[in-house]
Amino acid sequence: MDLVIQRLVKAAVAHIATPYARGELNELAKWCSEREQTARKVERSIKYADESVAGDSEK
């Protein structure tokens, strides 16, 4: 999403049309949100797996 924002700011500063249509921005935002949610789920899974392994080694 940082790249999208950078392109939008660059277009605004240069007073040119934005490189994305509103519908494209909505789709990009939705896609980025889905990727972020997936990443959080994976991070939680890894955290719980690490805690489980650490708990097993303490026994």
Give the residue carrying structure tokens 């990727």. Answer: 35
pLDDT at 27: 95
pLDDT at 52: 77
Give the residue carrying structure tokens 């994976």. Answer: 42
pLDDT at 58: 58
pLDDT, tens digit only, all 59 positions of the chain? 789 999 999 999 999 999 999 999 999 999 999 999 999 999 999 988 877 777 766 55
pLDDT at 54: 72
Q: What are phi and psi of 58, to 5 degrees?
A: -80, -15
